Amino acid sequence: MSKSQELFEQAKTLIPGGVNSPVRACLSVGVDPIFIDSARGSRLTTVDGDELVDFVMSWGPMLLGYGHPEVNAAAAAAAAKGTSFGAPCALEVEMAKAVVDAVPSIEMVRMVSSGTEATMSALRLARGYTGRSKVVKFMGNYHGHSDSFLASAGSGLATLSIPGTPGVPAETVAHTLLAPYNDLDAVKALFAAHGSDIAAVIVEPCAGNMGLVLPADGFLKGLRAVTEQYGALLIFDEVITGFRVSFGGAQKRFGITPDLTTLGKIIGGGYPVGCYGGKREIMERVAPSGDVYQAGTLSGNPVAMAAGLATLRLLEQADYGALERRTVKLVDEMTGLFMEKSVPVTVNTIASLFTVFFTREEITDFDSARKADGERYASFYRQMRANGVNLAPSGYECSFTSFAHTEEDYDHFLDAVSKVQF
Ligand code: PMP
């Protein structure tokens, strides 16, 4: 038995399903997870000493690659001065300034410790600010695991076919109104019926949790218009797209100004961080300047702030265009290889994100994403992993490239694709 298998067997007796986050269990791709010992650049080393070229990159945070020396040095220097104070520190001010400078719609920001906390808090603020209860959410979008968002959610719920979850009171999700992604008419109909009760529309501006699905022309602009018309807030959940789709996020790339934005992943440089921010007038309602309560013992943690700041400073200088062009080339070459084998495939991509859907149909929403061949994705995943490439272990997730990937890594990826047989 490999060390990975041994650890997994033991883990299953101690941790539900053997993992601390469901998708890691690799259930939908029909293999056991691999336990990781270390990671450097674009590569993972397993506890059995095998090396994999990684296209998950911790689900997004590692846009600079694993173990970047400047990020590590910044975190180590901060840790040497103290790992948590529970009192303000200068790094928090620097981080707030970096986020405000980078993200167009953010005038004030509050740090938290995960994407889940960021979206949960943004929704509470939207409800407090508007005095309304309902939220419009898109099917197949995932905004973390707080109660209000666990209706038709993507990511692990889509992977495991969980429509909702026990433990969430029906009264709570009754306030969550669902619309298909990219369907502006459906959103308008919800506003026509419930307009004066809707606090916010929350959206992944490029959806990454039903596989990658891009916003149709005019969709985000339409959401901005309809929310303004009814006095509801528009929340962009940029936990995946922030500092990735462009340095200023999807809002900068698409030229739309939301009222509130949530960020996570990259902003912590691999440490647990999230944040929510937006218009000053709205953010001033957060306690203690306002009456909407939200707090956190480890919020603004100095080690996480230092790693996140070092990451943002490096990314500010990074050539996003070059990485996107390299990713498109990879996707085109992969698509070509599948076409040679007459395998029907649609690959959605933007910036350093891509998802392989095994279907010839366009993927524009959760329904179309669900029509892709999941069995084939599972086989693809297993064969790629056997050939030293780690992809998202679910067809309902994105794969990620990074600034650390090399030509050798891309060649390795394509060589593995060329060996895939169905
Ligand atoms: N929003 C989006 C768009 C996400 O992709 C995720 C996690 N993948 C979250 C929120 C939740 O973030 P976390 O897992 O850090 O709680």
Probe target for ligand 1 pocket from 204, 265, 394, with the most ligand atoms within 8 Å of CB: 265
Give the rounded percent of residues in the chain with a pLDDT score beyond 90: 95
Closest atom of ligand 1 to 238 CA is 3
Query: Which domains does the chain carry?
Result: 3-64+319-419 (3.90.1150.10), 69-316 (3.40.640.10)
Q: Report, as an integer, the average pLDDT of 227-237.
A: 98
Active site residue 237: yes
Q: Report, as an integer, the average pLDDT of 19-42.
A: 97
| Range in 139-148, 158-167, 311-320 with the lowest mean pLDDT | 158-167
- The alpha carbon of 420 and the centre of ligand 1 are apart by a number of angstroms equal to 31
Q: Is 115 in the pocket of ligand 1 (CB under 6 A)?
A: yes
For ligand 1, atom 1, which residue shows the shortest CA distance?
143
pLDDT-derived band of residue 156, with 50, 70 and 90 as boundaries?
Answer: confident
Probe target for ligand 1 pocket from 142, 147, 241, 398, with the most ligand atoms within 8 Å of CB: 142
pLDDT digits (tens, 9 = 90+) for 124-153: 999 999 999 999 999 999 999 999 999 888
Catalytic residue among 54, 237, 259, 365: 237
For ligand 1, atom 3, which residue shows the shortest CA distance?
239
The overall average pLDDT reported for the chain is 97
Q: Is 64 in the pocket of ligand 1 (CB under 6 A)?
A: no
Q: Is 144 in the pocket of ligand 1 (CB under 6 A)?
A: yes
- The alpha carbon of 143 and the centre of ligand 1 are apart by a number of angstroms equal to 6
278's torsion region: left (phi>0), alpha (psi -120 to 50) or beta? left
pLDDT-derived band of residue 229, with 50, 70 and 90 as boundaries?
Answer: very high
180 has a pLDDT exceeding 90: yes
Q: Is 241 in the pocket of ligand 1 (CB under 6 A)?
A: no
Catalytic residue among 230, 265, 320, 365: 265
Q: Is 204 in the pocket of ligand 1 (CB under 6 A)?
A: yes
162 has a pLDDT exceeding 80: no
163 has a pLDDT exceeding 70: no
pLDDT digits (tens, 9 = 90+) for 339-383: 999 999 999 999 999 999 999 999 999 999 999 999 999 999 999
pLDDT digits (tens, 9 = 90+) for 258-304: 999 999 999 999 999 999 999 999 999 999 999 999 999 999 999 99
Closest atom of ligand 1 to 241 CA is 3
Q: Is 143 in the pocket of ligand 1 (CB under 6 A)?
A: yes
pLDDT digits (tens, 9 = 90+) for 50-94: 999 999 999 999 999 999 999 999 999 999 999 999 999 999 999
161 has a pLDDT exceeding 70: no
Q: Report, as an integer, the average pLDDT of 173-199.
A: 97
Q: Which amino acid is at 357?
A: F
pLDDT at 134: 97
Closest atom of ligand 1 to 141 CA is 3
What is the C-alpha separation between 110 and 200, in angstroms, rounded?
A: 19
95 has a pLDDT exceeding 80: yes
Handedness of CA 352, 117, 39, 48 (dihedral sign): negative
Active site residue 129: no
Catalytic residue among 142, 181, 271, 320: 142
Active site residue 265: yes
